[in-house]
Amino acid sequence: MKMRNPPVNSLSLEFLTELLISLEKLESDKAFHAIILTSDCPGIFSAGLDLMEMCGRDPTHYAEYWKAVQELWLRFYLSHLVVISAINGVNAAGGCLLALSCDYRVLADNPKYAMGLNETLLGIIAPFWFKDTLVNTVGHRTAERALQLGLLFPPAEALQVGMVDKVVPEDQVLSAARSELAQWLAIPGHARQLTKSLMRKPTADRLLKERDADIQNFVRFISRDAIQKALRVYLEKLKQKKT
């Protein structure tokens, strides 16, 4: 699955919906057993959630958007398919969450390709299920530091803290993901799937139990004047970077 939403693969409502539909199609076709998730945007895996969906819109839109973000995470996190990400570019916040929801991560060895949950740098916070997904991957202490400081880890550090499983030269990301896949596909499918569910269901259940409350929290939080202002300032900084 190659993500293509130029220029930065931001996860707009439309793009999230496309990703969901693609995943559902693959999941419902018994001929498919695995997905390699990668990007078609040079140098960028994903810039995360689309800031335009969270800025200057109305509460109904925020609620609809957040429900789609939740759905994407739940579907990827619990997918019965083997999902491996071949991360071929910078990967921020919501994009990093998507990669963390995969079963295995291969990252291209380019110092520009940092990844992490950098929400605090925008003046916002990672929701509890983003946090849980990170803790499940790198452990509590690393997650605590990474989340507070909004750290984006370059490849060597991402590997060292366990945010990714393998770092390879840029031209080998896909082939490395494919070789890894062979090992996962050699395991009897039902045993692997049940084990994945055993490991992940308690984390997903926390969100499933309070999905509506989480949507309400998001809508309240993102609608605040101070948060809207922080997002506008951040977007402005991104634009100024060019001039």
Ligand X SMILES: CCCCCCCCC/C=C/C(=O)SCCNC(=O)CCNC(=O)[C@H](O)C(C)(C)COP(=O)(O)OP(=O)(O)OC[C@H]1O[C@@H](n2cnc3c(N)ncnc32)[C@H](O)[C@@H]1OP(=O)(O)O
On the CB side of 183, CA atoms within 13 Å amount to: 7
CB 50 within 8 A of CB 15: yes
Nearer to ligand X, 103 or 214 (CB): 214
Residue 179 CA: distances (Å) to CA of 33, 34, 165, 172: 15, 12, 13, 10
Is 94 noted as a catalytic residue in this protein? yes
Is 119 noted as a catalytic residue in this protein? yes
Strand blocks (E) in the chain: 2-3, 34-39, 43-46, 82-87, 89-92, 104-108, 115-116, 166-168
Is 48 noted as a catalytic residue in this protein? no
Q: Among residue numbers 75 through 104, which ones bind ligand X (CB under 6 A)?
A: 90, 92-94
Structure token digits, residue 12: 């707009």
| Count of other CB atoms within 10 angstroms of residue 141 | 10
Which of 94, 95, 116, 150 is the catalytic position? 94
Q: Among residue numbers 185 through 224, which ones bind ligand X (CB under 6 A)?
A: 217-218, 221-222
Q: Which residue is nearest to ligand X (CB)?
A: 48
Min dist. Cβ of residue 11 to ligand X (A): 7
Is 49 noted as a catalytic residue in this protein? yes
Which of 16, 23, 49, 147 is the catalytic position? 49
Q: Among residue numbers 94 through 153, which ones bind ligand X (CB under 6 A)?
A: 94, 118-119, 122, 124-125, 127
């880890």: which residue's tokens? 153
Q: Which residues contact 69 (CB under 8 A, 6 or more apart)?
A: 11, 16, 49, 94
Applying CB under 6 A, the span of 44-52, 154-162, 189-197, 199-207 interacting with ligand X comes to 44-52
Residues taking part in catalysis: 49, 94, 118-119
In the complex, the residues that contact ligand X under the rule CB under 6 A are 7-8, 10, 44, 47-52, 90, 92-94, 118-119, 122, 124-125, 127, 217-218, 221-222, 235, 238-239, 241-242
